[in-house]
Structure 1
Amino acid sequence: MKRSWRLSTLFDPTPVARSVSLKLSKVDKLGVIAGAGALPRKIVAACRESGRAFCVLAFEGSADSEMIRDVPIQWIKMSSLSAALDAARNEGVTELVLVGKIPRPSVLELIRDVRSAKFMAKVGTRMLGDDNILSAVVRELEEVEGFRVIAPETLLENLLSTAGTYGVVNPTSDDLADIKRGLNVVHQIGRLDIGQAAIVQNGFVIGVEAAEGTDRLVERCAEFVSQELPGGVLVKAAKPTQDRRIDLPAVGLSTVEHVVRAGLRGIAVETGGALIIDRPKMIRAADAAGIFLFGVSLKN
């Protein structure tokens, strides 16, 4: 899967946006801005279970229509984001959660939307990394558009990564050494706003994530994984300076499947710096395949 933003929206100031207070007296209605993957469906289910009012703004070509059936939904495009936000505001939405993956938009797509074009003119071409752009997007949504942006883990239990071994397979001392090296590598590429993952085996860095995304990273590195050497681990962590309400690295069943096919020993994630999608199913799949799932702090 190509590297993608978990959500991208670009807007500029309007009088009506400036008039929206961040502290409204009425009950907060949630706008779920949805891309691909299972997370939008889980957020919708959590809202229904808690009785919270919500609506879904789903990106055409990315969000799974089967996952968000029978919900109040508006299909949106990158070229018509302004109208989507105005519609959400008219529906009484005051909070937004950005979940799922969407393809990184082209400049041509963005300039079709007036607010998006003005936003791009404001931030300039200097902001080319996902983290820089998404952080600017959140500032626009909150400071200009008047919404509050919340993290998905505030709505779902057991979503954020925790410390230690998740299943029955534990990492060896060699695995832990690879994990430590992998975390250092991911931390450094994260500082440069490049990626959130690396693969390390026996101390050798086999590959780092860039624009292609984690699944493609594992696929292209599979041929370099030695079956004669021990170990081999996929390490994922948040970028050091990113806004952790959006675009945290995520792992799920697909990650396990790719890691198993590549012949790696396991998956390590930064404690509190990754989202664990379908945790019980992921753990069962990892246990069945004999690989480890492990949460580790950057301070370790």
Structure 2
Amino acid sequence: MTDIAIIAGAGGLPAILAAQMPQKPLIAALDGFTPTGLTPDLHFRIERLVPFLNHLIDQGITRVCFAGAVQRPVLDPSLFDPLTAQMVPRLIAAMQSGDDATLREVLNIFTEFDLKIVGATDIAPHLTPGPGLLAGQITDQDRNDAMRAATITAALGAVDVGQGAVVQAGLCLAVETLTGTDAMLAGVMQIPANLRPRATRGLYFKTPKPGQDIRIDQPTIGPQTLDMVARAGLGGIAFQTGGVILLDQPALITQANALGLFLWSRDDQGQP
């Protein structure tokens, strides 16, 4: 009998983590967000959060790991049970303060039920590579663009806006907002060529926001991001060492090389 549950969203991360565990975890998927390559043991809704948490405890669960992509669900007031309904004011107040505040409140609720939060990289440390250039080559201009992007994301992250930016020759082409990475990169594809510098290809920079609790919301890079970076005409991806998950590092390195992109795990000093 396992003592750990994966609170699963969409994508491949829940299956990767489950494969790393010595015992099969309980897989609980948020309704509407099905993980890839896993069959959930149960689904739950936010409107029935307290009964769900009590069920976890009844099953002997003492630890939970959040993994996978989710978006804010549409809540149905008719589905709230009396105990969960009492939590609505605090959840609404948190949601009005931004994503980080919302996620912190979710963590608070789980810990109030004596459930320990385990980060994805506690289970699979190899998902966050150390500093270094994993694929391709970078130039001095790429270093400058990464530094510029890091400054931009730090400023925006401080007000809970996005985890990434696209910079080319010092110019900010796009920042990640509520619509996410794919929408941002799709927007870059639409920028007229005459508005983009010609001297360099630019890069996409990914990092956690300042103060972001990566136990529940850690930025992730997967194959679709690499494809979209290439289609946007960028030179590669730089990401904060220790702060970003690579879903399948060997496969992503192979893909980056095939696409002619660099993949750079950048430390706080900007070193490859």
1:56 is matched with 27
Give the stretch that moved more between structures: 181-190 or 239-248. 239-248
CA deviation map 1:13-57 (0-9, x unaligned): xxxxxxxxxxxxxx971111100010011111112xx2x252010
Select the residue among 2, 12, 21 that pairs with 1:38: 12
Deviation (angstroms), 1:246:
1.6
2:176 is matched with 209
Mapped partners of 1:192, 1:298: distance in 2: 21
Mapped partners of 2:127, 2:175: distance in 1: 24
Deviation (angstroms), 1:129:
1.0
Deviation (angstroms), 1:106:
3.5
In structure 1, runs of 5+ residues without a counterpart are 1-26
The alignment yields a C-alpha RMSD, in angstroms, of 2.1
Q: Structure 1 residue 281 and structure 2 residue 248: aligned?
A: no
C-alpha change, 1:203 and 1:28, in structure 2 (3 Å) is same
Q: Structure 1 residue 175 and structure 2 residue 142: aligned?
A: yes
Deviation (angstroms), 1:252:
1.0
Select the residue among 58, 65, 72 that pairs with 1:90: 58
Mapped partners of 2:252, 2:208: distance in 1: 20
Q: Which amino acid counterpart does residue 189 of structure 2 have in structure 1?
A: A
The TM-score normalised by the length of structure 2 is 0.90
Deviation (angstroms), 1:279:
1.0
Q: Which amino acid counterpart does residue 288 of structure 1 have in structure 2?
A: A
Mapped partners of 2:149, 2:163: distance in 1: 10
Deviation (angstroms), 1:161:
3.7
- Report 1:101-180 matches (<5 A): 101-106=69-74, 108=76, 112-122=80-90, 124-125=92-93, 127-142=96-111, 144-167=112-135, 169-180=136-147
In structure 2, runs of 5+ residues without a counterpart are none
SS across alignment from 1:125: helix
C-alpha change, 1:114 and 1:186, in structure 2 (3 Å) is farther
Mapped partners of 2:130, 2:153: distance in 1: 18
Mapped partners of 1:31, 1:79: distance in 2: 19
Whether the aligned pair in 2 keeps the contact of 1:160 and 1:272 (CA below 8 Å) is: yes
C-alpha change, 1:115 and 1:263, in structure 2 (3 Å) is farther
Of the two structures, which has the highest relative contact order with CA contacts closer than 8 Å and spacing of 6 or more? 1
Aligned residues: 266
Mapped partners of 1:114, 1:190: distance in 2: 36
Q: Which amino acid counterpart does residue 214 of structure 2 have in structure 1?
A: R
Whether the aligned pair in 1 keeps the contact of 2:156 and 2:162 (CA below 8 Å) is: yes
C-alpha change, 1:36 and 1:267, in structure 2 (3 Å) is same
Whether the aligned pair in 2 keeps the contact of 1:178 and 1:202 (CA below 8 Å) is: yes
SS across alignment from 2:239: strand
Deviation (angstroms), 1:110:
9.9
Mapped partners of 1:36, 1:113: distance in 2: 26
Whether the aligned pair in 1 keeps the contact of 2:46 and 2:75 (CA below 8 Å) is: no
